[in-house]
Structure 1
Amino acid sequence: MPENGCLRVGQMAPDFTATGVVDQEFKEISLSQYRGKYVVLFFYPLDFTFVCPTEITAFSDRYADFSSKNTEVLAVSVDSKYSHLAWIQTPRNQGGIGDIAYPLIADLKKEICAAYNVLNDDGEADRGLFIINPKGMVMHMTVNKAPVGRNVDETLRVLQAYQYVEANPDEVCPANWTPGDKTMLEDPKGSKEYFSAIG
Structure 2
Amino acid sequence: MNNYSESCLRVGQIAPDFTATAVVHGQFQQVQLSRYRKYVVLFFYPFDFTFVCPTEIIAFSDRYAEFQDLNTDILGVSVDSEFSHLAWIQTERKMGGLGDINYPLVSDIKKEISTAYNVLDPNIGAALRGLFIIDRAGILQYSTVNNLSFGRSVDETLRVLKAIQHVQAHPQEVCPVDWQPGAQTMSPTPSGSQAYFKLINN
Do these two structures clear the TM 0.5 threshold for a shared fold by scoring above it? yes
Letter in 2 for 1:86: A
Letter in 1 for 2:148: A
Structure 2 SS opposite 1:172? coil
Deviation, structure 1 residue 56: 0.1
| Residues 1:57 and 2:58 aligned together | yes
Deviation, structure 1 residue 33: 1.1
Q: C-alpha separation between the residues in 1 aligned to 2:7 and 2:190?
A: 37
Unaligned stretches of 5+ residues in structure 1: none
Q: C-alpha separation between the residues in 1 aligned to 2:102 and 2:7?
A: 32
Correspondence for 2:149 among 147, 150, 160: 147
Q: C-alpha separation between the residues in 2 aligned to 1:146 and 1:5?
A: 20
| Residues 1:98 and 2:99 aligned together | yes
Which position in structure 1 is the counterpart of 2:3? none
Write the deviation string for residues 4-40 of structure 1: whole angstroms up to 9, x where unpaired: 62210111000000000000000000001103x1000
Structure 1 SS opposite 2:13? coil
Write the deviation string for residues 80-120 of structure 1: whole angstroms up to 9, x where unpaired: 00000000000100110100000000000000000000000
Letter in 2 for 1:156: L
Unaligned stretches of 5+ residues in structure 2: 1-5
Q: How many pairs were matched up?
A: 195
Structure 2 SS opposite 1:136? coil
Structure 2 SS opposite 1:171? coil
Which position in structure 2 is the counterpart of 1:5? 7
Correspondence for 1:125 among 124, 127, 136: 127
Name the TM-score, length of structure 2 as normaliser: 0.95
| Residues 1:174 and 2:176 aligned together | yes
Structure 1 SS opposite 2:88? helix
Which position in structure 2 is the counterpart of 1:109? 110
Deviation, structure 1 residue 145: 0.7
Name the TM-score, length of structure 1 as normaliser: 0.97
Correspondence for 1:16 among 9, 15, 18: 18
Q: Percent identity?
A: 64
Q: C-alpha separation between the residues in 1 aligned to 2:9 and 2:100?
A: 32
Write the deviation string for residues 36-72 of structure 1: whole angstroms up to 9, x where unpaired: x100000000000000000000000010000110000
Structure 1 residue ranges, 4+ long, deviating more than 6 angstroms after superposition? none
Structure 2 SS opposite 1:20? strand
Superposed CA RMSD: 0.7
